[in-house]
Amino acid sequence: MRRELHKELELLNRYYDVDEENKLVTIPLKYEKATELIDLNVEAKNNYPISDPAMVSIVEKISTIPPGYQVKLNLIINDYEGYDENILLESLNDFLEFNHYSIIREKKFFFIQAIILLAIGISILVFNVSAKANELFVDTSVLNEVFDIIAWVFVWQATTVAFLTPSEFDVNSKRFKLRVKSISLYDKDRKLLAHEETFEKFKEWVGNRAKEKISRIILLLTGGALLISGAMRLVAGLSIIPSLITVSTVDTEAFLISLILVVLFISVAILEGLIGISALSIYNGRGPLSNKARYVFIPIAALIISLEIVNIILSGGLGNLRETVSTAISILSALGYIVGTALSIALEVKNNKTEKNNKDTMWTESCQVDSGLKK
């Protein structure tokens, strides 16, 4: 055992029961009244609103436990003041679940912001490379340098937003979910009134299921990739336009092929931009292209794959690395959109069916109770 951990456990043993074999620390938190946990500024409806200071205090104590050790949280309340201990435990879980959804919403906002910033940055880089190749600027050295700086500022800002902006809620939530093994409520005589293994409870929360996480990740990455691919396609299409004038007077067939490629690139760019917005809207759970539009964009994504294949045929294969990367991103992104959206639709149908079955069960049980009362 490392020296620091040994010293930490030695200190913890002075205040808490430490089971080193099972790596468990029991933290007994004593309250004189139940209202010390409850936010009295919010009028209770069904459950009791838990106060922020009470939960912050609990999380701060959990933070003192060394990594690898879990916590058995024992809340000892001398006077429950008529509050139901089971509802109080349920309210604690509700507070944590509310926090969980707030974190998901916050993360979605940050990641979408990061993806958009990244897409803008890479688009400017692609445009700058194309401008250098086609000598669009008279003084290329200055303007190219300016565009490079702007592009990297966007890329750096995207990295900062996505990975270097930690949320205090997120840190505390992870700390609680990873460290707390169980929550128990006791009375003043140390009699157990309510107990719950938290790991099983946390798994029930929406957004914790593996398929939902996979679907969200695919849609987020796909949305960003489609926006970037669309921008690359748009730049590629526009860069062909100057050569159309030269080709038109020399070779009619080459002119027609180039014209088709321009229309193809711009069409694919617009479609990829729309599908990218749709993917981010579905990931976010709201937006102009998140609901019925996804059923339209699935076949359009399949169409993009077909158009990319046509582009490869008309271009006589993939001539350079940039074209190869651009085509690969386009095809993989379109496939990702189809998979991610189909998975999100399947999960939505399954969740709706489960909710309907639960409602039917509750209605049946209610009818049985009513029937028994009448008898």
259 has a pLDDT exceeding 50: yes
3 state SS for 326-363: HHHHHHHHHHHHHHHHHHHHHHHHHHHHHHHHHHHHHH
Q: Is 234 exposed, middle or buried (0-12, 13-18, 19+ CB in 10 A)?
A: buried
Mean pLDDT of 176-186: 84
Residues 256, 203: Cα–Cα separation, whole Å: 58
Angle, alpha carbons 98-107-349 (nearest 5°): 70
Say what the pLDDT of residue 367 is: 57
The pairs formed by 183-187 with CB atoms below 8 angstroms and a separation of 24 or more are 183/73, 183/75, 183/89, 183/92, 184/72, 184/73, 184/74, 184/75, 185/75, 185/77, 185/85, 185/88, 185/89, 186/74, 186/75, 186/76, 186/77, 187/76, 187/77, 187/78, 187/80
When pLDDT is cut at 50, 70 and 90, the band that residue 273 belongs to is confident
Mean pLDDT of 328-357: 79
Of the two residues 319 and 225, the one the predictor is more confident about is 225
When pLDDT is cut at 50, 70 and 90, the band that residue 196 belongs to is confident
Say what the pLDDT of residue 75 is: 92
pTM of the predicted model, to two decimals? 0.68
Tell me the average pLDDT of the chain. 79
132 has a pLDDT exceeding 50: yes
340, amino acid identity: G
When pLDDT is cut at 50, 70 and 90, the band that residue 186 belongs to is very high
Residues 136, 241: Cα–Cα separation, whole Å: 12
Residues 310, 243: Cα–Cα separation, whole Å: 21
In the block, which residue shows the tokens 């939505």? 348
Of the two residues 40 and 288, the one the predictor is more confident about is 40
Query: How is residue 323 written in tokens?
Result: 């074209």
Of the two residues 160 and 363, the one the predictor is more confident about is 160
Say what the pLDDT of residue 62 is: 84
When pLDDT is cut at 50, 70 and 90, the band that residue 220 belongs to is confident
